[in-house]
């Protein structure tokens, strides 16, 4: 049974002709396919045999319940099954907020059997790595853990491990109600941060502040300094360059909360904590 469940795909699509095509395309490979005709049908099948499925392949646009709404409902049921979307019109890369729902990517329609199999293989592989990284690496480091004082090293390899790490950092940050998270806070002494000010969610690798202006004060907290709040003066506007988790260059002009989060998280990469801005706050640690 473990062999079956490790390759059992729930295909959700309102086009009745698609599922048999997928089944045929994967016939020579070790995939077992179950078909659902819409999101409600998929939830019913999930409720009946939730431990059986290893992956869900769903159309984005379906009448009644979209692929993203299905992902939300599955998440509410506690599902951790990776979900691969398929669409005539994929947005690549998938918005980070979608990925935090467990959506692993988007397969553009129409696809060849090879593309389909590659996408399923890749989604399964990524999901396994995410599980491994969760188990091994993502433990919150709390002051005075010396790792929080390390100067983090630049990242030079942009592979699926880094992609999996960034996704896991987003999930970790959100589960802990944070708006930003830096590598050392989860035991990774490398230059990677994630930030989400509720308007912009981004992962930055090797971020550098290249311009800064204005000054603002705001009271900040930090997941690694529980219970501590410090009034920190920071630049009101910053220009930051770096790379995304896929290695593409990124340049951001930020102000308001996002500017503050970026400065706070980049501080972490240099071993600086908010308590350094107010030595008195260390009395409460
Ligand atoms: Ni922090």
pLDDT digits (tens, 9 = 90+) for 153-187: 999 989 888 998 998 899 888 877 789 999 999 98
User: What's the gap in Å between 277 CA and the centre of ligand 1?
Assistant: 13
* Distance from residue 72's CA to the centre of ligand 1 (Å): 28
In this predicted structure, the answer to whether residue 92 has a pLDDT above a threshold of 90 is no
- More confidently predicted of 257 and 69: 257
Q: Is the dihedral of CA 125, 130, 133, 134 positive or negative?
A: negative
Q: What is the pLDDT of residue 50?
A: 78
Closest to 37 in 3D by CA, of 22, 54, 58: 58
Range in 1-10, 97-106, 273-282 with the lowest mean pLDDT: 1-10
Ligand 1 mean position, distance from CA 17 (Å) = 51
Give the relative orientation of helices 67-76 and 39-48 as an angle to the nearest 10 degrees: 30
pLDDT score recorded for residue 228: 85
User: What's the 256 CA to ligand 1 centre distance in angstroms?
Assistant: 17
Please indicate whether residue 285 or residue 35 has the higher confidence score (pLDDT): 35
195-204: per-residue pLDDT in tens? Answer: 998 788 999 9
DSSP code of residue 31: -
What local confidence, expressed as pLDDT, does residue 166 receive?
A: 92
Q: How far is the CA of 169 from the centre of ligand 1 (A)?
A: 13
pLDDT beyond 50 at 2 = no
Q: What's the CA-to-centroid distance between 239 and ligand 1, angstroms?
A: 20
Is the pTM above the cut of 0.75?
A: no
CATH number of 5-135: 3.40.50.2300
Instruction: Tell me the Cα Rg of the chain.
Output: 21
Cβ distance 96 to 201 under 8 Å?
Answer: yes
Residue 76 has pLDDT above 90, yes or no: no
pLDDT of res. 97: 47
Quick check: 243 pLDDT over 90? yes
pLDDT at 237 over 90: yes
Please, what is the average pLDDT of the chain? 85
Return the bridge partners of 92, or none: none
Q: At what angle do helices 18-25 and 113-136 cross, to 10 degrees?
A: 80
Residue 45's Cα: distance from chain center in Å? Answer: 26
Among 43-57, 68-82, 143-157, 266-280, the range scoring the smallest mean pLDDT is 68-82
**Helix residue ranges, H only, 58-214:** 67-76, 96-99, 113-136, 160-175
Q: Is the pLDDT of residue 116 over 50?
A: yes
Active-site entry in 167, 190, 220, 265: 265
- The percent of residues in the chain predicted with pLDDT above 90, rounded, is 45
How high is the pLDDT of residue 29? 80
Residue, of 285 and 55, whose pLDDT is higher:
55
Q: List the domain boundaries for the chain.
A: 5-135, 146-283
Is 146-283 in the same CATH topology as 5-135?
no
Active site (annotated) includes residue 17:
no
pLDDT(244) > 50: yes
**Each residue's pLDDT tens digit, 130-148:** 545 554 558 899 999 999 9
- Site of tokens 């308590």: 275
Q: How far is the CA of 168 from the centre of ligand 1 (A)?
A: 17
Give the CATH number of domain 146-283; options: 3.90.45.10, 3.30.930.10, 3.30.70.3040, 3.40.50.1820.
3.90.45.10
Find the 92 Cα to ligand 1 centroid distance in Å.
30
Mean per-residue pLDDT, 103-132? 77
Going by C-alpha positions, the residue among 122, 135, 196, 200 that lies closest to residue 163 is 122
């Amino acid at each position: 049974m473990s062999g079956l469940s490790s390759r059992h795909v729930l295909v959700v699509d309102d086009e009745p002709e698609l599922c048999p095509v997928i089944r045929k395309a994967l016939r020579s490979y070790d995939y077992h396919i179950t078909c659902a005709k819409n999101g409600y049908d998929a939830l019913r099948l999930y409720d009946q045999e939730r431990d059986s499925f290893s992956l869900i392949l769903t159309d984005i646009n379906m009448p009644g319940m979209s692929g993203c709404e299905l992902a939300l409902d599955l998440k509410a049921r506690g599902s951790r099954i990776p979900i691969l979307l398929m669409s005539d019109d994929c947005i690549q890369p998938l918005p980070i907020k979608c990925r935090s729902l467990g959506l692993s990517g988007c397969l553009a329609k129409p696809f060849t059997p090879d593309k389909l199999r590659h996408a399923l293989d890749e989604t399964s592989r990524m999901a396994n790595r995410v599980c491994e990284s969760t188990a091994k690496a993502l433990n919150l480091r709390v002051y005075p853990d010396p790792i929080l004082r390390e100067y983090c090293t630049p990242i030079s390899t942009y592979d699926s491990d880094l992609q999996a790490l960034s996704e896991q950092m987003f999930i970790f940050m959100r589960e802990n109600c944070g708006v930003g998270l830096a590598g050392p806070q989860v035991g990774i002494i490398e230059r990677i941060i994630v930030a989400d000010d509720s308007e912009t969610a981004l992962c930055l690798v090797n971020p550098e502040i290249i311009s800064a202006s204005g000054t603002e004060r705001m009271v900040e907290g930090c997941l690694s300094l529980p219970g501590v709040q410090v009034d920190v003066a920071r630049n009101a506007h910053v220009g930051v360059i770096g790379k995304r988790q896929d290695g593409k260059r990124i340049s951001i002009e930020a102000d308001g909360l996002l500017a503050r989060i970026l400065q706070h998280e980049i501080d972490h990469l240099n071993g600086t904590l908010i308590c350094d801005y107010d030595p008195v706050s260390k009395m409460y640690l």
